[in-house]
Amino acid sequence: MSKYDIVIIGSGLGGLQCASILGRKGYKVLVLERQTQPGGCMQSYHRHGEDLDTGMHYVGGLGEGNCLHSTFKYLGLTELPWQLLDPEGFDRVTIGDRTFKYAQGHEAFVETLAREFPNERKGLENYAHTMREVGNHLFDAIKPRDEVDFFTTSLFASSTYEYLHETFHDELLINALCGSSLKMELAKDTLPLYNFAQANNSFVQGSYRLKGDGNLIVNKLLDNIRSFGGELACNAEVEELIEKDGKLVAARCKNGEIYEGDFFISNAHPAVTCDLVKESTKLKKVYRNRIARLENTYGMYTVSLILKPGQLKYFNWNQYIYKQPNVWDYYKEEGPVSGILISCRVPESGEDARILDILTPLPWDRIERWENTRIGHRGEDYVALKERMADECIAMAERFIPGLHNMVEARYSTTPLTYRDYTLTPNGSAYGVRKDYHNPMMTLLSAKTPIPNLYLTGQSLTLHGLLGVTMTSLFTVAEIIGKEEAWKITQTV
């Protein structure tokens, strides 16, 4: 039996960031990972001689003075080979036969779209102001002596859909502004304005791709953790968090190992975390039921294409394509895939593209009949579904890349079932718990739990993606090191 200051369950981005920060602060840290390799949705997998990403495609706000720069610099992540996407159009949204560009910088963002929608300039300026303001307050929940209650801010209780329709008159512009939002779940009835504006602000500040796969981030954080004396144990699936006298004292793994700790941080989904605490005087039924009732966002289907050499030049932006101006609803409709994101991996050398990822939402009810199966044993009908969707995604992509089908050397696909089995996320959710502006206090989760030395981290708490997980990691470690120390990390270093 081993004893640590901090025991972290799960080696996704949030778990690794917390471990890196706490290790640097002098805590003895252990990260427990149920899989054979760390990283969660940041990890890549090796096929056909290439490393293919599972969840990492691009990130915003890394430039000096931008919202994530200081924190990423503190974590050593700014040292990685980031490539700035095309400032004149880092995201390009094709709807029908028209394409709209998102330019870097709030002023350029407004100017570029105002040329397409001159009567909407005032609304675009107001939207840019909203993005900038929310971005300026990304880490307010840990700001020392801050009098504002972060979790009751009005933007959490405001509807994205209603805000956009109050701000703009042209439905096509609203679709264009939302067309890059395959990086979140567009839900008319629930999506808070805070989540929409915060995520989009970071990308407008500046969008970046890695020259390489997501394991670059994983390995850098692991190097940090180990340099501070921290440890990682893979194939160590936690089966119980043991409570004694109202506090957690140990994590017991399925391999028989028991790890004692003073503090415990769970990077697992909150519902999974509750299930790990079998007996507790603190984790009451009302809290467990609240967590169990939370709905989750949809999952994603991804087909990764390995291209034949010399077939396609690298393009330095993200390409979104929709058949119709119905970006809020298209994924709910039956029929062939009608909306996709195409992400092109930065070439290791030269100008030729080698790897393309094509993503589209895949609601759980489309694959629910296979929920009691496991990877590699789902049957011919499931394989047929994946192949059909791959064909449909490629057909959509050919609106932008004619002849793509014939450029493909190999292809590999994943569904929400894949993510569920690897990460234990209910329904293979891509963005964690669904936030609801009607009831933000119920769907926004604090890092604190009723057990005083158990904390949560990860995208299910407040905001998803690299931005949201990084923000939440700071909120989590602030509970241990204090707000003032956590706040310093977000400032210029």
Closest CA to 220 of 469, 27, 19: 19
The predicted structure's pLDDT at residue 426: 93
The predicted structure's pLDDT at residue 145: 74
- 358 vs 366: CA distance, rounded Å: 19
pLDDT above 70 as % of the chain: 98
- Compute the average pLDDT of residues 345-355: 92
- 369 vs 415: CA distance, rounded Å: 13
Whether residue 341 contacts residue 320, with contact meaning beta carbons closer than 8 Å, is answered with yes
- 214 vs 88: CA distance, rounded Å: 25
The predicted structure's pLDDT at residue 104: 98
Whether 470 has a pLDDT exceeding 70, the answer reads yes
- Compute the average pLDDT of residues 169-174: 98
The predicted structure's pLDDT at residue 181: 87
Which of 10-19, 223-232, 434-443 has the least mean pLDDT? 434-443
Name the architecture of domain 2-43+60-65+69-78+212-295+434-489. 3-Layer(bba) Sandwich (3.50)
The predicted structure's pLDDT at residue 147: 57
The predicted structure's pLDDT at residue 1: 65
Which of 37-51, 106-120, 393-407 has the least mean pLDDT? 37-51
Q: Which residue has the higher pLDDT, 347 or 348?
A: 347
The predicted structure's pLDDT at residue 84: 97
- Compute the average pLDDT of residues 99-119: 98
- Compute the average pLDDT of residues 312-335: 95
Whether 153 has a pLDDT exceeding 80, the answer reads no
Q: Count the Cβ atoms, other than its own, within 10 Å of residue 211.
A: 15
- Compute the average pLDDT of residues 459-464: 91
Predicted confidence band at 493 (pLDDT cuts at 50, 70, 90)?
A: low
- Compute the average pLDDT of residues 28-40: 94
Structure tokens at 17: 């960031």
Mean pLDDT, the chain, as a whole number? 94
Whether 151 has a pLDDT exceeding 60, the answer reads no
- 50 vs 438: CA distance, rounded Å: 44
- 340 vs 179: CA distance, rounded Å: 10
Radius of gyration of the chain (CA): 22
pTM to 2 decimals?
0.95
- Compute the average pLDDT of residues 290-303: 95
Q: How many residues would you count in the chain?
A: 493
Whether 262 has a pLDDT exceeding 60, the answer reads yes
The predicted structure's pLDDT at residue 150: 59
Structure tokens at 112: 């570029």
3-state percent breakdown (helix, strand, coil) of the chain, nearest 5: 40, 20, 40
pLDDT above 90 as % of the chain: 86
The predicted structure's pLDDT at residue 149: 58
Whether 182 has a pLDDT exceeding 90, the answer reads no
Q: Model confidence over 374-410: pLDDT tens digits?
A: 988 999 999 999 999 999 999 999 999 999 999 999 9
Whether 417 has a pLDDT exceeding 60, the answer reads yes
* Amino acid present at 59: V
- Compute the average pLDDT of residues 289-306: 95
- Compute the average pLDDT of residues 408-418: 96
Which of 158-162, 227-231, 331-335, 363-367 has the least mean pLDDT? 331-335
